[in-house]
Structure 1
């Protein structure tokens, strides 16, 4: 899997959020490396509100980390 951090500057918060989503996806791929298993599990969480809310929390955590590192809100 490619290392996207050193080569993916995020000059705007929107691009930082997109990176946060990518990091969340990468986390799943690294945690469950077998694509067949990921596909088999997808229906279990795709229609589960609690699972989808959990995904949002993971993305929010990644975004907060990226935002802090980039200093998006420093005035």
Structure 2
């Protein structure tokens, strides 16, 4: 199963009934990482539902090393969850 990475803005257009997360299962660690990024983006879009506000704030955090480290931490946490769900892709 391929995990497509959608931006937070793309998530906003999906209906509430859409199943954007059918499973945590992925074929490879690379797909697992893409899913972790998707989970992070969905969290942002859920927390700040106004796409224009997100666009306005992006330059502030994009140039802030502490914000970038925090973002990396959130993705890493999601990746840990996905990796565990996939038994760390053991054969």
Q: TM-score, normalised by structure 2?
A: 0.73
**Higher helix share goes to which structure?**
1
Shift of 1:43: 1.1
Shift of 1:70: 1.1
Shift of 1:6: 1.1
Residue matched to 1:36: 52
CA separation in 2, counterparts of 1:65 and 1:72? 10
CA RMSD after TM alignment:
1.8
1:69 matches 2:69: no
Residue matched to 2:29: 13
Specify whether residues 7 and 65 from structure 1 end up closer, same or farther in structure 2 by C-alpha distance, changes over 3 A only.
closer
Shift of 1:9: 3.9
| Count of aligned positions | 75
Shift of 1:5: 2.1
Q: Which one scores higher on RCO, CA 8 angstroms, separation ≥ 6?
A: 1
Structure 1 gap segments, 5+ residues each: none
Q: TM-score, normalised by structure 1?
A: 0.88
